[in-house]
Amino acid sequence: MSDSTVRCWLVERTFDDRNLVTIVYATPDGSRYQQRERSATSLRTGAPVTAATSIPEDELEGVPDEETQTRYATEAERVAEQYDPDDEL
């Protein structure tokens, strides 16, 4: 297991009809990501969703297509410019 972490930025948040929220953090270049699912209730009562988080390298997945990679990189850049890493979003 790697001890190295990567700062990743919030690039996507979607809600579904089962009261689940899917949160995606991606590397600044958009090439790797981590997807998390949380209940809407846990968003109100649990740990906050922040603009950025540090994720162990071995927990990141490769982004499967160039279009998504470009979208993630663009959004990561936008979030990094507008927010501090610990800002709650």
pTM given for the model: 0.89
pLDDT 10s digits, 12-42? 999 888 888 999 999 999 999 999 998 877 7
Q: In terms of pLDDT, which residue wins out, 74 or 44?
A: 74
Q: Identify the band that residue 1 occupies on the pLDDT scale cut at 50, 70 and 90.
A: very low
Residue 9 within a domain: yes
Residue 89 within a domain: no
3: which 2 tokens? 């001890």
Residue 87 within a domain: no
Q: 50 is in which domain, residue-wise?
A: 5-82
Q: Are 32 and 61 in contact (CB under 8 A)?
A: yes
Question: For the chain, what is the domain count?
Answer: 1
Q: In terms of pLDDT, which residue wins out, 85 or 47?
A: 85
Residue 35 within a domain: yes
Is residue 11's pLDDT more than 70? Answer: yes
pLDDT of residue 38: 87
